[in-house]
């Protein structure tokens, strides 16, 4: 069409110009029309893969079969109608009936001819496509099983997920194979059909991918949902393990610290009372008071690691101010003076405390900045240190934070600071 459409107006224009004795212009017009015809033919070759010999043979034979069928049906209807109804073979009724019959026969004969020729020209491709086509026609078809049957056990379908990862239909993360055919729908990558080149030819895989593209698009949505469920299960398992480890740590701290100190104080006081010496009793009492004050401070430190009292009483601003007063490095902060739901405040506090602790232990930074701001329908927490950077988001500490943030519907991000350092950012959904 691209080559032929300009041809008719070009011929008319050339004729009109030649009448006015401008033959050279007519030659130019006709030459341009010939060039358009060649360009259009080239575009059709590229667009419809006419350089594929198998495709040319298949399509040509199919259209030949369809043309013969149309001709036979048309003549047959004309003869039958004319003889049976005593109608003139050239009447409009006969022509209409023969045309409708020919149209119906054309489609049927074309499909039959294409299948028959395809079965003989490339039986492997034909059989693979037929397996997928017939399987998808059944309800609740298993696409992975169909692909394995069509291309062998060395084939699978994977789907793109976040962060350049690939997942199977049940949401499991997998590494991509070297050989595969990308499947796109409306210019969007929806799947990748991977295969073993020793078992399947590339053109066969492309044909199967083209046949199953729509179903792959549907399965991609289910794969993403399955991936999210898998992430939730993994997050819950990590949270459960982290809670158990935290409980054991607290038990050890209480047993080795405050509990042992209290027992020692009790033994000191009991020994002084049994000794009966007033001076010794006074000295031991003073010593016990000092030890009790140290024990109280130790318990406060332990409780602050869980959730500081300042958080419950004054919110994030008071808790961060208390943390800044106790931090072993310079800690600047800009925290919105507003209260939020208790679960959001608790999760935000743990993000701040863990990020500051990591900066103290690993970054080598001399200063840490904490910013807590309210954005539309969300609470944003950002901690920026100027240390060495290179934080590992998959480490146990940051992974635990990510799980804790996800448990309240938020998201955690870790990135490199500018020009150096680490930026930890958490965003929590929060209704206005």
Backbone angles phi, psi at 55, to 5 degrees: -65, -40
Alpha helices in 122-196 (DSSP H): 123-136, 143-151
Q: Is the CB of residue 31 less than 8 Å from the CB of residue 78?
A: no
pLDDT over 70 at 53, yes or no: no
Any long-range contacts for 112-119 (C-beta under 8 Å, 24+ apart)?
A: 112/65, 113/61, 113/62, 113/63, 113/64, 113/65, 113/66, 114/58, 114/59, 114/62, 116/65, 117/57, 117/58, 117/61, 117/62, 118/58
Mean pLDDT (whole number) for 18-25: 79
The overall average pLDDT reported for the chain is 79
Report residue 26 as tokens: 């007519």
- Quick: pLDDT tens for 193-213: 999 888 888 888 888 888 888
Is the model's pLDDT at 230 over the cut of 70? yes
Exposure pattern of 229-244 as b/e (b: 16+ CB <10 Å)? eebeeebeebeeebee
CA distances from 360 to 58, 319, 329, 331, 385 (A): 72, 18, 8, 11, 9
Comparing 366 with 55, which gets the higher pLDDT? 366
Q: Ranked by mean pLDDT, which of 6-15, 38-47, 135-144, 372-381 comes out on top? A: 372-381
Q: Kindly report, residue by residue over 108-132, the tens digit of the pLDDT.
A: 888 887 778 777 777 888 888 888 8
* Residue listed under structure tokens 């059909």: 193
The Cα 339–Cα 142 span in angstroms is 51
Report the run of H or E that residue 182 belongs to, with start and end: strand 180-185
The Cα–Cα gap between 39 and 147 comes to 39
Asked if the model's pLDDT at residue 424 lies above 70, the reply is yes
| pLDDT given at position 427 | 92
Q: Is residue 354 a contact partner of residue 370, using CB atoms and an 8 Å limit?
A: no
pLDDT tens per residue across span 314-343: 889 988 888 888 777 888 999 999 988 888
* Rounded-to-10 torsion of CA 24, 25, 28, 34: -110
Distance (Å, whole) CA 71 – CA 239 = 74
Q: What is the pLDDT of residues 154-208, one digit of tens each?
A: 899 998 887 678 888 887 888 888 889 999 988 888 899 999 888 888 888 888 8
Kindly give, in sequence order, each residue whose CB lies less than 8 Å from that of residue 351, ignoring residues fewer than 6 positions away.
381, 383, 401, 404, 405, 412, 424, 426
Q: Indicate the pTM of the whole model.
A: 0.44
240-296 pLDDT tens trace: 666 666 666 666 656 556 666 676 677 767 777 776 667 766 777 777 777 777 677
The two tokens of residue 111 are 């499909």
Q: What is the mean predicted confidence (pLDDT) over 350-355?
A: 85
Phi and psi at 405, nearest 5°, equal -65, -45
| Closest by Cα among 372, 249, 368, 262 to 306 | 249
* pLDDT at residue 334, as a whole number: 93
Dist CA 129 CA 3 (whole Å) = 33
Token pair, residue 108, equals: 């049927």
Distances (CA, A) of 356 to 140, 210, 267, 422: 52, 53, 39, 11
How far is residue 153's CA from residue 172's CA, in Å, rounded to a whole number? Answer: 18
**pLDDT: is 243 or 64 the higher one?**
64
Contact 102, 124 (CB under 8 A): no
Could you give the CA distance from residue 11 to residue 30 in angstroms, rounded to a whole number?
A: 7
């Amino acid at each position: 069409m691209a080559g032929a459409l300009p041809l008719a107006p070009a011929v008319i224009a050339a004729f009109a110009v030649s009448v006015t004795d401008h033959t050279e212009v007519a030659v130019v017009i006709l030459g341009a029309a010939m060039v358009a015809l060649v360009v259009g033919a080239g575009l059709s070759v590229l667009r419809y893969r006419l350089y594929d010999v198998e495709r040319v043979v298949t399509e040509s034979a199919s259209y030949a079969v369809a043309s013969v069928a149309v001709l036979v049906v048309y003549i047959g209807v004309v003869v039958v109608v004319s003889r049976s109804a005593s109608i003139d073979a050239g009447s409009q009724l006969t022509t209409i009936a023969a045309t409708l019959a020919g149209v119906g026969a054309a489609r049927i004969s074309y499909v039959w001819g294409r299948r028959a020729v395809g079965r003989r020209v490339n039986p492997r491709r034909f059989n693979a496509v037929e397996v997928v086509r017939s399987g998808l026609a059944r309800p609740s078809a298993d696409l992975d099983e169909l692909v394995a049957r069509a291309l062998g056990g060395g084939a699978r379908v994977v789907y793109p997920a976040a962060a350049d990862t690939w997942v199977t239909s049940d949401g499991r993360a997998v590494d991509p194979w070297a050989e595969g055919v990308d499947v796109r729908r409306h210019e969007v990558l929806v799947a990748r059909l991977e295969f073993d080149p020793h078992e399947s030819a590339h053109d066969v895989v492309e044909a199967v991918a083209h046949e199953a593209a729509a179903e792959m698009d549907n399965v991609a949505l289910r794969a993403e949902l399955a991936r999210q469920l898998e992430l939730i299960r993994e997050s819950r398992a990590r949270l459960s393990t982290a809670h158990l480890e935290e409980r054991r740590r607290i038990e050890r701290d209480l047993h080795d610290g405050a509990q042992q100190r209290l027992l020692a104080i009790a033994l000191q006081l009991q020994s002084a009372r049994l000794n009966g010496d007033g001076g010794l009793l006074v000295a031991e009492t003073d010593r016990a008071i000092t030890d009790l004050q140290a024990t109280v401070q130790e318990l406060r430190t332990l409780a602050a690691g869980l959730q500081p009292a300042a958080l419950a009483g004054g919110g994030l601003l008071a808790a961060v101010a208390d943390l800044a007063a106790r931090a072993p490095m310079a800690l600047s902060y800009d925290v919105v003076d507003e209260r939020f739901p208790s679960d959001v405040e608790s999760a935000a506090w743990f993000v701040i405390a863990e990020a500051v602790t990591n900066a103290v232990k690993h970054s080598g930074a001399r200063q840490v900045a904490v910013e807590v701001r309210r954005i539309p329908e969300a609470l944003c927490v950002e901690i920026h240190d100027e240390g060495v950077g290179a934080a590992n988001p998959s480490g146990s500490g940051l992974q635990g934070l990510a799980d804790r943030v996800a448990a309240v519907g938020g998201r955690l991000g870790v990135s490199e600071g500018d020009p150096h350092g680490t930026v930890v950012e958490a965003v929590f959904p929060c209704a206005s």
